[in-house]
Amino acid sequence: DAKTTQPPSMDCAEGRAANLPCNHSTISGNEYVYWYRQIHSQGPQYIIHGLKNNETNEMASLIITEDRKSSTLILPHATLRDTAVYYCIVRLPHPPYNQGGKLIFGQGTELSVKP
């Protein structure tokens, strides 16, 4: 499985956009980029995922570079409730890959949204 590199921590002012970078230079062609977050003492929560194209949903936007070696998660208007550890994960789809179901979590980025 490809590894990801994220800054250990970031700060963001409330109401501003939070841009969380992720490096996945060894990603393979079949691997998706997933983002999860974990708010203190809770289970991880799915945010968004993509393969090649940029994606947007009600929570965030995902920008993937053309060479797919890095991506950025954008929270357009960060609130205090967005304070959490954000994990960038690359994984194979399951099916067809039997081991593709597992998520391999790194250290993530601890995002602090400040008033």
Which stretch, 4-12, 18-26, 66-74, 104-112, contacts another protein (CB under 8 A)? 104-112
Cα dist from 23 to 12, 45, 54, 88, whole Å = 20, 21, 16, 9
Name, in order, each residue with C-beta under 8 angstroms of 3's C-beta and a sequence gap of 6 or more. Answer: 24, 26, 90, 106
3-state secondary structure of 100: helix
Residues pairing with 111 in the sheet? 10, 84
Check residue 28 for interaction with another protein (CB under 8 A). no
Find the part of the chain contacting another protein (CB under 8 A) among 14-22, 58-66, 74-82, 100-108.
100-108
Q: Which of 12-20, 34-42, 51-59, 75-83 is the region at the interface with another protein (rule: CB under 8 A)? A: 34-42
**Which amino acid is present at 3?**
K
Which of 29, 41, 53, 67 lies at the binding interface for another protein (CB under 8 A)?
41
> Can you tell me which of 8, 29, 42, 67 binds another protein, judged by CB under 8 A?
42
Hey, what are 9's tokens? Answer: 């921590």
Q: Which residues bind another protein (CB under 8 A)?
A: 32, 38, 41-46, 49, 85, 87, 93-95, 98-99, 101-105, 107
